[in-house]
Structure 1
Amino acid sequence: MRRRFLGLTAAVAAFGMTAVLSGCGGESGSGDVTLKLVAADYDIAGGSSTKTYWHNVVEDFEKKNPNIKVDVQIFSWDVVDAKVAEMVKAGNAPDIAQIGAYSDYASSGKLYSVDQLLSIPVEANFLSPLADAGNVKRVQYGMPFVASTRLLFYNQTLFEQAHIKPPTTWAEIASDAKALKAKGVKTPFALPLGSEEAQAETMMWMLSDNGGYTNTVDGYDIDSPENIQAFDWLKANLVEPELTGPVAPGKLNRQDAFDAFAKGEVGMLNGHPSLMEAAKKKGIKFGMVPLPGQNGQAKAAMGVADWIMGFKQGGHRAQIGKFLDFTFSDANVLKFADQYDLLPSTVSASSAMAADPKHKELKPFLAALPTSELPPVGKTSWPKVSETVKKKIGSAVAPGGSPKSVLQDIAKVAMDAENAE
């Protein structure tokens, strides 16, 4: 998943900064191999922290493996997927890519499967929802590099002023939002269904009514009765009573909603771990609870992941596997997750983070991740479906809009895209 799934906004221009880290030299003999790694830049402040992270990983790895060098190129999230696509098209695929999507490359036979690369202990250490999301036709190709999940954030100060408690059901969301509006809160419940990340907000509400993008046999089920009911409820109980603020949900982007929450203008919204730091920097007191369902807690939180993969073209299977085994050590996984307020993708690193008192605020996110559900990123049709959701879902809750009709339209696009695979 791209930066838009983790909800981190690229802080560089569209032709963003690129950085190149070299190993300790080129190939120095017939037994030496130089791996090419392309990675995404997670430093939203435009600094060099991602570059430094990979430099340290490569330096430590090369000390232990002197016959394997690693050259790293870092690109902004704005361009990294396109850069890798260009390299692959030109017949110059990197050995390893840490980017937003893997399914197209897997489906076209360009990637090693995970069991061809990783040692058994490392392969078995991924959290199961993340490992499952890395599958294409029941074979894992995408390795979850870093993860996140979502919880319902609420402004504690505004809740205390309105004499309300965090919601546990849909009805309580609506009643809390009404109480916040009565106290003059600008946006009682922020519902970002704009183009930036509508596919994620949509999935959260689907899950809250025991629905989702797919059914139990992994076929699309976008216009299911549960999904229609969820958006009917949103329209009737939050949007039409004007509890979602001055910007129409279809025009509200996630980052704008987060910024407004950090300014104290939003009572409730769905958020991920990085919102904690933004809110704390602005002095906002907040709490977090699982997103309520119609009659209680939703069946699952929405999980998200970014991916790392190994390309076949260079023929360096053994060396790629050795480097990835090293990359997924607890020390490396924890350092990266800690640096960017994200969640580890492995069982052992997640347990270590949960046991560390300095990460106590992340515990609700960590607790939600092992049973989370991810978007169907293993489907090569998913990018088309995701873009369609972003374009259309806001109209489902707009004046005169029909959730059923909009979801049926999206379902047809999904079916056509699936049949075209």
Structure 2
Amino acid sequence: MTGLTAAVAALGMAATLAACGGPGSDDVTLKLVAADYGDSPANSSQKYWDKLSAAFEKKNPGIKVDVSVYSWNDVDAKVKKMVADGHAPDMAQIGAYSDYAASGKLYSANDLLSIPVQSDFLPQLADAGEVSRVQYGMPFASSTRLLFYNKTLFDKAGLTPPQTWDQLQADAKALKARGVKIPYALPLGREEAQAETMMWMLSGGSGYTDDVGTYSIDSPQNVKTFEWLKNDLVGQGLTGPTPPAKLDRAQAFAAFTRGDVGMLNGHPTLMQMAAKKGVRFGTVPMPGIHGRARSTMGVADWMMAFRQNGHKDQVGKFLDFVYSEKNVLDFSREYDLLPVTNSASDTMADDKRDQKLSQFLGELPNSQLYPVGKTSWAQVSAGIKREIGSAVGPNGNPGATLGRLQRSADAAENAE
């Protein structure tokens, strides 16, 4: 009896250990750190994740999901510190993944996702999530950029939205003559200078990298683009009283919603902001030198999963749930963002409720993303934020500024 009692006790202990998350058990708590896409407590991303996690936990007893949401100003630094301290979360939904992938800290998408879910990602977003041809970054939210214009100001001046640089300049001059404070808002301040820079580089026929992925920051086309911005836009007094190097995108968006801006590049969130303030606006593709730009800028934020805690199977189950068509659509509609999957994109394209996003959605297939697969990109982007605004200032030299940025990018790339 003593042996039997001991055996029963041992079995009971084993059951208790399994219930507490012992080896082979699904009874775990996953930690997710995520960025906040809301603009107020009422629509904080915490509410989205809490609702989604509760639905997942109901279907998957034994797996809990603990989500901490931080502002975009803080979230990347929070995750970086957690990883440095040896306490990586199971998942992070932030702005960059490649440095963690390069140091071997991440599961690949192939490790985690079912085949139908992984194959549902939009191809250009899946490709952008690769390091050395292996996908580690899973796109979570995306957007494209269009040129916004104030319809009221344009109607009063008898203007049509521009399709070329010359037309953009002519419209800006006409708006300035009518007393518009900021005919064209050119935010090259540190908040998001890398975005405005890329949009103009693409409209000038180049970009941050060439066709084989080598940095081409000081390409002849890019130098010509910034010479035009300096001389034909900023130098003509068409970008308002704040120097572009001091103007952040948030300030530019706020000025647009006050009716002080004639034109600026914007993402879908600006539609909601402008509508709340009663601003009549239109959107058109970014003008190019002789016609609309060949491509616009696309942006993706990333989901990644860290190896440290070893919860591969449970993380995979959760991410399969996260990327279901319904959940991707719910998030995209809540925050006026574009879906990252084919299934949700097709549904959105056919749904009348989503017509306000249709033009942004149409630009996505031909959009170009930051070179996020380069582990040097974070350093290069930081340099662009610091320096690019000076290129269009009164004493600026676009060729010299872009040349310095190119040399820094080459050095960062060679240091890898």
TM-score (norm 1): 0.91
Name the structure 2 match of 1:258.
253
* CA displacement 1:37-80 (0-9 Å, x = unmatched): 11122222134642221122112212222132222222232222
The yes-or-no answer on 1:95 pairing with 2:104 is no
Count of matched residue positions in the alignment of Structure 1 and Structure 2: 396
The yes-or-no answer on 1:159 pairing with 2:167 is no
The yes-or-no answer on 1:375 pairing with 2:374 is no
Name the structure 1 match of 2:183.
188
The yes-or-no answer on 1:284 pairing with 2:314 is no
Code of the aligned partner of 1:169: T
The 1-side partners of 2:348 and 2:253 are apart by 25
The 2-side partners of 1:156 and 1:91 are apart by 53
More divergent stretch after superposition (217-226 vs 47-56)? 47-56
The 2-side partners of 1:154 and 1:172 are apart by 13
Name the structure 1 match of 2:211.
216
Cα distance change of structure 1 residues 199 and 27 upon mapping to structure 2, 3 Å threshold: farther
Cα distance change of structure 1 residues 29 and 192 upon mapping to structure 2, 3 Å threshold: closer
Q: Which of 65, 68, 71 is the equivalent residue of 2:66?
A: 71
Name the structure 1 match of 2:410.
415
The yes-or-no answer on 1:363 pairing with 2:358 is yes
Q: Which of 104, 121, 128 is the equivalent residue of 2:123?
A: 128
More divergent stretch after superposition (352-361 vs 42-51)? 42-51
Contact 1:41/1:75, CA 8 A, preserved across alignment: yes
Contact 1:27/1:34, CA 8 A, preserved across alignment: no
- SS in structure 2 opposite 1:36? strand
Cα distance change of structure 1 residues 285 and 84 upon mapping to structure 2, 3 Å threshold: same
* CA displacement 1:178-213 (0-9 Å, x = unmatched): 111111111111111111111000000000011000
Name the structure 2 match of 1:14.
none
* Residues 99-114 of structure 1: pairs in structure 2 closer than 5 A: 99-114=94-109
Cα distance change of structure 1 residues 181 and 27 upon mapping to structure 2, 3 Å threshold: farther
The 2-side partners of 1:76 and 1:156 are apart by 32
Contact 1:27/1:33, CA 8 A, preserved across alignment: no
The yes-or-no answer on 1:390 pairing with 2:398 is no
Question: Please, which runs of 5 or more residues in structure 1 have no aligned partner?
Answer: 1-25
Name the structure 2 match of 1:11.
none
Q: CA deviation at 1:312?
A: 0.8
Code of the aligned partner of 1:90: D
Name the structure 1 match of 2:79.
84
Contact 1:147/1:304, CA 8 A, preserved across alignment: yes
- SS in structure 2 opposite 1:321? helix
Question: Where does structure 1 differ by over 4 angstroms across 4 or more consecutive aligned residues?
Answer: none
- SS in structure 1 opposite 2:317? helix
Quote the sequence identity (%).
61
More divergent stretch after superposition (235-244 vs 350-359)? 350-359
Name the structure 1 match of 2:398.
403
Code of the aligned partner of 2:49: W
The 2-side partners of 1:281 and 1:86 are apart by 37
Name the structure 1 match of 2:11.
none
Name the structure 1 match of 2:3.
none
The 1-side partners of 2:371 and 2:72 are apart by 21
The 2-side partners of 1:350 and 1:105 are apart by 29
Cα distance change of structure 1 residues 29 and 419 upon mapping to structure 2, 3 Å threshold: closer
The 2-side partners of 1:95 and 1:257 are apart by 36
Q: Which of 41, 47, 56 is the equivalent residue of 1:52?
A: 47
The 1-side partners of 2:91 and 2:248 are apart by 32
Code of the aligned partner of 2:175: L
* CA displacement 1:118-155 (0-9 Å, x = unmatched): 11111111112211211112211011111111000001
- SS in structure 1 opposite 2:208? coil
* CA displacement 1:60-104 (0-9 Å, x = unmatched): 212222132222222232222222122212222111111121111
- SS in structure 2 opposite 1:148? strand
Contact 1:191/1:244, CA 8 A, preserved across alignment: yes
Contact 1:155/1:268, CA 8 A, preserved across alignment: yes
- SS in structure 1 opposite 2:41? coil
The 1-side partners of 2:254 and 2:44 are apart by 23
* CA displacement 1:222-245 (0-9 Å, x = unmatched): 000111111111112111111111
The 1-side partners of 2:98 and 2:345 are apart by 26
Contact 1:262/1:282, CA 8 A, preserved across alignment: yes
The yes-or-no answer on 1:318 pairing with 2:313 is yes
Q: CA deviation at 1:270?
A: 0.3
Q: Which of 32, 37, 60 is the equivalent residue of 2:32?
A: 37
The yes-or-no answer on 1:333 pairing with 2:306 is no
The 2-side partners of 1:297 and 1:66 are apart by 53
Code of the aligned partner of 2:38: D
* Residues 345-356 of structure 1: pairs in structure 2 closer than 5 A: 345-356=340-351
The 1-side partners of 2:349 and 2:129 are apart by 24
The yes-or-no answer on 1:293 pairing with 2:310 is no
* Residues 262-277 of structure 1: pairs in structure 2 closer than 5 A: 262-277=257-272
The 1-side partners of 2:162 and 2:32 are apart by 45
* Residues 205-244 of structure 1: pairs in structure 2 closer than 5 A: 205-244=200-239
Contact 1:27/1:69, CA 8 A, preserved across alignment: no
The 2-side partners of 1:412 and 1:207 are apart by 20
- SS in structure 2 opposite 1:71? strand
The 1-side partners of 2:166 and 2:21 are apart by 69
Code of the aligned partner of 2:299: V
Q: CA deviation at 1:171?
A: 0.9
TM-score (norm 2): 0.92
The 2-side partners of 1:29 and 1:194 are apart by 49
Name the structure 2 match of 1:5.
none
Higher helix share: 2
